[in-house]
Chain A
Amino acid sequence: MHDPIRMPAVFFRLRARLLEHIDMPLFLIVCALMLCGLATVYSATYDANNRAFAQLINMLCGLALMWGVAQVPPQKLMRFAVPLYVLGVVLLLLVFLLGVRVNGAQRWLSLGVVRIQPSEILKIAVPLMLAWYLHKHEATLRARHFAGAALLMLVPFALIAKQPDLGTAILVGAAGFYVIFFAGLPWKVMLGAVAAAAAAAPLLWSHLHDYQRRRILTLFDPSTDPLGAGYHIIQSTIAIGSGGVVGKGWLEGTQTHLEFIPERHTDFIFAVFSEEWGLLGNAFLLFLYTMLVARGMMIAANAPTLFSRAMAGSITLSFFTYIFVNMGMVSGILPVVGVPLPFISYGGTAVVMLCLALGILMSIQTHRMLVKK
């Protein structure tokens, strides 16, 4: 027996409160990506062990987390920078000392029932830490601060690279670098670093063992090892190419369903999508990602503080990095490194971390007026 006129008002107010810190364009883009992801995970796994439902749960958890984080103003987020960073580095050290070895790499830390991969935390903790650090010294930003930031980035980078997990290390390093870049690292320094690296490369090459060189060469030319490392890339390019313009249709990919594509619900899921949806599907997916990146950059452009700008810029470019590295790898123009495709690849940790980043973006976007006031 409620008042029939007051009901909508309550509803609208509730809705307004719920959506207060949600950035609608970003939310809609991500929802579209997640739907694509669910459909592809379904196709990649329905033959044996269907993971679409599990992925839906992951996504819902992620969205809830995103909502929660979006409520927290950036100033408060900054407080998490140091503890999160310290926690991440400590966990990495623990992994180094007593981690679980899976497939020859020591990446996991066993906590009784669950195993966690601390390097995932660093994907957020490093940019957060760097953005906080540089923000703190904003007024007196000098070369030594950039050097300090670089050091803060390199410690976890080295620990992750040592696991060895070069893919994640690069992503963590990239996220950190983007923060430094957006904080205003001089172009001269960057160009100098690039020049130095180019000069050092041949020297480094001459010091490598033959097997190490061969491994690097296989990274760039998989056809030299068609039954080993190259097999994945050869099969995934076949999947993409055979998809043609319109694709083979959902659930119809032969490369997928006859198990020619390895890791087809995780790192190589793009081959599944591409085989079944073709060039049109790929273009649509790239369009969605471009929108995501563009929206992220708009948020960064409007962000009021150095912390929020650097954070928003870094998160956005990190998304781009995941997308480019993954698609480049699966389509055979980049070496194989284990990077999931955002919102498409199956995996709880990845989805949750991405949503956490989205939450930060939304928080930056929806709290900027408050800061200006």
Chain B
Amino acid sequence: MRLRRPLLRSTDSEHDRFRFRLAVSLAAVLLAFGVLLARFVHLQLIQHDYFSTRAEDNRISLAPVTPNRGVIVDRNGVVLARNYSAYTLEITPSKAGDLDATIDALSKIIDIQPKDRRRFRKLLEESKTFESLPIRTKLSDEEVARFAANRYRFPGVEVQARLFRQYPLGPIASHALGYIGRINKRDLETIEASEQASNYKGADHIGKTGLEQKYEFYLHGTTGYEQVEVDAGGRAVRSLARTSPIQGSDLTLTLDSRLQEIAEKAFGERRGALVAIDPASGGILALVSMPTYDPNLFVDGIRTDDWEQLNNSPDKPMVNRALNGAYPPGSTFKPFLALAALESGKRTASQSIVDPGYFNFGGHLFRDDKKGGHGVVDMYKSIVESCDTYYYMLANDMGIDSIARFMAQLGFGARTGIDIEGESIGVLPSPEWKKQRFKRPEQQKWFAGDTVSIGIGQGYNAYTPLQLAQATATLANNGVMFRPHLVRYITDSHGQKTLIEPEPVRTIPLKAQHIETIKRAMVGVTREGTGARAFAGAEYVSGGKTGTAQVFSLKGEKYEGGKIKERLRDHALYIAFAPADKPTIALAVLVENGGFGAQSAAPIARLVLDYYLLGKTPKGAAPEDATAVEAPPPEEE
């Protein structure tokens, strides 16, 4: 014990030193806690607003709600384009990690074919970032259930209920309707330029061609918004507020789908186009371009093999011949030229020529179809029998400027203004046109001989079937021309209808007597002329004109359709209006490489008129009410 005493004393001084150190540490602790408190004041008092906003931004996400696309029906209410709901399996590539591994794993529980993978790859190349892309569409209930049970294994993969566009009639009227497809980068630029960008948030489809494209902003509707609370994984937890979308407007067409179908069937395997117009309004009753394609293929992104088949086919099914094919009108040009002659005073109806079977123009012989000629020919006979010589002489007498001026009034060589994008202008030949068209000076010169071939609708003449139909309708309507259109009225989501008013383009001041002369001659065609056989026994009076347009010029040889290759055969044409006294339909038919107009084009016109005026369906066609039954969603697989 003695030893410990001094030690204890030293421990006391140690103890004081210890307490000093303790005090220092306590000061340090208080200082540190003070720093923390200052930090909390900074974050929670001074910067509170900033962090509140950031927390709200974290939490609340605006999710666009895509509106239902408007429906398209024909003039009788037959549905041409509609929507149905189905489940799709979608992958968001940015969240899914290794795509191939994910798809491989998915294919163990859901049937995923190599073609699905190819389509997915294609979509991936064209897609926007952060978009979710379908790998499989139209899942069965069983597949949905199987995926739901395995969902945790697949981050970034989800089953979505989506509305799909469907065209119940398949290929019928596809060139008029067009189709919708997934929005690609070029569409995005269009959307941004239209200042509709916010309305397309969350949308992944857009009209690509036809009416679907032209009326896109009506059909699309107004996008709604849902404020949702999302968690850190981006999953929606609950809905906070919702602005409902306004569904797209419905289109009611002037088109008669039944008429359309009959016209398409009438073409059979042949290529060509038909445009039928209501002359009194410009409303299009049928717009045929053969062959057609099935627009349903495009809706979810077309498969590569389907696309190649459509794109590489020599028949070019994707080309809308009615608007984009430019063909020489052949003899269907003659009634218009005759009208021009009457109006300009170059000819009277009764003035006659003697046709020796050719027109000698400065030593060059322009031959008539008929060997030995048509004999004495007046205007009536020139149309009924389609006498070429009459028109060689007429064109030569009138001169190209006068012809071009008159034909321009009828709409030849100008866009009609139809409500589908991308129609062609065609070629209304004139010296000015030639100057612009060709580069070398010797090619730019207009020769008087050029004018002679113009007279029978050959030469540089090239018009779309739509222009030809519009000119025919204008003639049928006594010179009052309407803008051709496919949409009759637009019905918005409240049921408010906006009628597309017939839009008169111009009234050509034609003498009634002259019109009467031409119409009478065209009626003559169907009774005793080139169209007589096709219209034998018709229960109505129609006017018409056949035409045959040369594709390939045969120097001095006699044309024999059967002997040359199919693709080099002449195009067959027919124009018509009916009933003759008060026309309710005017049309133009073109059959590519169809040979004589009387042979292949006129019978198609007959079928169309029979149905439209009499309700007669051709033999072998389905009964009328068949199209009214709504087809089920197409089974693709």
Which of A139, A258, A286 makes the CB contact (< 8 A) with B37? Answer: A286
Q: How far is the CA of A86 from the CA of B52 in the complex (A)?
A: 51
Does A119 count as interface, using CB distance less than 8 angstroms?
no
Instruction: Give every chain A residue within 8 A of B230 (Cβ-Cβ).
Output: 258
Instruction: List B contacts of A333 (CB < 8 A).
Output: 35-36, 39
Interface size of A by Cβ–Cβ distance < 8 Å?
Answer: 44
Rounded to whole Å, the gap between the CB of B366 and the closest CB of chain A is 80
In-complex Cβ contact of A242 among B25, B52, B229 (8 A): B52
Given contacts A182-B18, A245-B44, contact A238 B232 (CB under 8 A): no
B45 contacts partner chain A, Cβ-Cβ < 8 Å: yes
Instruction: Say whether B51 contacts A258, CB under 8 Å.
Output: no
Cβ-defined partner of B58 (8 Å) among A139, A255, A297, A331: A255
The residue from A244, A255, A324 contacting B33, defined by CB atoms under 8 A apart = A324
Chain A residues whose C-beta falls within 8 Å of the C-beta of B44 in the assembled complex: 240-241, 243-245, 274, 278-279, 282
When distances are taken between beta carbons in the complex, the residues of chain B under 8 Å from A328 are: 36, 39
Residue B536 CB within 8 A of the other chain: no
Centre residue among B19, B36, B44, B50 by max chain A CB count within 10 A:
B44
Residues in chain B near residue A294, CB distance under 8 A: 26
Contact indicator A297/B33 (Cβ below 8 Å): no
> Interface SS of chain A: helix, strand, loop or mixed?
helix
Which residues in A have their C-beta under 8 angstroms from that of B15?
309
The answer to whether A240 and B25 have CB atoms under 8 Å apart is no
Q: Are B45 and A245 neighbours in the complex by a CB distance under 8 Å?
A: yes
Chain A residue numbers with a CB within 8 Å of B33 are 286, 289-290, 324
Looking at B22, B35, B36, B43, the one whose CB has the most chain A CB atoms below 10 A away is: B43
Tell me the residues in window 125-171 of chain A with beta carbons closer than 8 Å to chain B beta carbons. 138-139
Q: Please tell me if A283 contacts chain B, counting CB pairs below 8 Å.
A: yes
How far apart sit A332 and B30, CA to CA, in the bound complex (Å)? 19
Q: Digit string of A30-69 for contact with B (CB within 8 Å is 1, else 0)?
A: 0000000000000000000000000000000000000000
Residues of B within 8 A of A315 (CB): none
A300 in the interface (beta carbon within 8 A): yes
Chain A 237-274 interface mask (CB, 8 Å, partner B; 1/0):
11111111100000000110011100000000000001
Verify if B314 is at the interface (C-beta below 8 Å from A): no
Interface centre among A139, A242, A255, A279 (most CB of B within 10 A): A242
A313, B22: Cβ atoms under 8 Å? yes
Query: Which residues of B have CB within 8 Å of A254?
Result: 55, 58-59, 229
B side interface size, CB within 8 A: 39
A260 touches B58 (CB 8 A): yes
Residues of A within 8 A of B45 (CB): 244-245, 279
**Chain A CB within 8 A of B14 CB:** yes
Q: Does A78 count as interface, using CB distance less than 8 angstroms?
A: no
The reply on A184 being an interface residue by CB < 8 A is: yes
Provided the pairs A258-B230, A293-B26 are in contact, do residues A244 and B52 lie with their beta carbons within 8 angstroms?
Answer: yes
Name which residue of chain A comes closest to B59, CB basis.
A254
Task: List CB contacts (< 8 Å) of B1-22 with chain A.
Answer: 7, 11, 14-15, 17-19, 21-22
Q: Is B237 at the interface (CB under 8 A from chain A)?
A: yes
Given the known interface contacts A184-B14, A259-B232, the answer about A331 and B36 at a Cβ–Cβ threshold of 8 Å is yes
Chain A residues with CB under 8 A of B21: 181-182, 184, 313
Cα-based distance from A184 to B18 in the complex (angstroms): 7
> Which A residues are CB-close (under 8 A) to B14?
184, 306
**A278 to B25 CA separation, bound complex (whole angstroms):** 28
B503 CB–A CB distance under 8 Å: no
Checking B29, B30, B40, B233 against A283 with a beta-carbon cut-off of 8 angstroms, the contacting residue is B40
A238 and B7: CB pair below 8 A? Answer: no
Instruction: Decide yes or no whether A322 CB sits under 8 A from chain B.
Output: no
* Distance to closest chain A CB from B169 (angstroms): 48
Measured between C-beta atoms, what is the minimum distance from A141 to chain B in Å?
Answer: 9
Distance, CA A309 to CA B25, complexed state (A): 14
Docked-complex contact A255 and B55, CB < 8 angstroms: yes
CB–CB B22/A240 < 8 A: no
Check A242–B51 contact: CB distance below 8 A. yes
Cβ–Cβ contact A317 & B25, under 8 A: yes
Q: Is the CB of A258 within 8 A of B36?
A: no
Interface residue ranges of B129-185 to A (CB < 8 Å): none
Given A245-B45, A260-B232, A290-B33: A238 and B40 interface contact (C-beta under 8 Å): no
**Cross-chain contact A297 with B55 (CB below 8 angstroms):** no
B32 within 8 A of A: yes
User: When chains A and B are docked, how far (Å) is the Cα of A320 from the Cα of B43?
Assistant: 22
Given contacts A139-B7, A240-B51, A282-B40, contact A309 B58 (CB under 8 A): no
User: Chain A contacts of B237 at CB under 8 A?
Assistant: 258
Which residue of the partner chain, among A240, A258, A301, contacts B40 with CB atoms under 8 Å?
A240
Across the interface, name the chain A residue whose C-beta is closest to B54. A238
Q: Give per-residue flags for B41-78: 1 if the beta carbon is below 8 A from chain A beta carbons, else 0.
A: 10111011011101100110000000000000000000
Q: Which residues of B contact A357 (CB under 8 A)?
A: none
- A92, CB-defined interface residue at 8 Å: no
Q: How far is the CA of A365 from the CA of B283 in the complex (A)?
A: 103
Known contacts: A240-B44, A331-B40. The answer to whether A258 contacts B50 by CB under 8 A is: no
Residue of B nearest to A262 (CB): B232
Docked complex Cα distance between A240 and B33 (Å): 16
- Contact among A184, A240, A258 with B43 in the assembled complex (CB-CB below 8 Å): A240
Residues of chain B contacted by A243 (CB below 8 angstroms): 44
Assess whether B231 is interfacial by the CB under 8 Å rule.
yes
User: What residues of A have a CB within 8 angstroms of the CB of B43 in the complex?
Assistant: 237, 240-241, 331
Q: Are B32 and A320 in touch, CB under 8 angstroms?
A: yes
Interface string of A290-327 (1 = CB under 8 A from B): 10011001001100001001000100010010001001
C-alpha gap A244/B47 in the complex (Å): 9
Q: List 14 A-B contacts (CB under 8 A).
A: A239-B55, A241-B43, A241-B44, A241-B52, A244-B52, A258-B58, A259-B231, A274-B40, A279-B45, A286-B37, A301-B22, A306-B11, A313-B18, A333-B35
Please give me the 8 A-B residue pairs with the lowest Cβ-Cβ distance, nearest first: A241-B51, A242-B55, A258-B231, A241-B43, A279-B44, A259-B232, A242-B51, A260-B232
Residues of B within 8 A of A (CB): 7, 11, 14-15, 17-19, 21-22, 25-26, 29-30, 32-33, 35-37, 39-41, 43-45, 47-48, 50-52, 54-55, 58-59, 229-233, 237
Give me 4 other A-B pairs in contact (C-beta within 8 A), A182-B18, A242-B51 excluded: A244-B45, A279-B40, A286-B36, A301-B18
- Chain A residues within 8 Å of B, Cβ to Cβ: 138-139, 181-182, 184, 235, 237-245, 254-255, 258-260, 274, 278-279, 282-283, 286, 289-290, 293-294, 297, 300-301, 306, 309, 313, 317, 320, 324, 327-328, 331-333
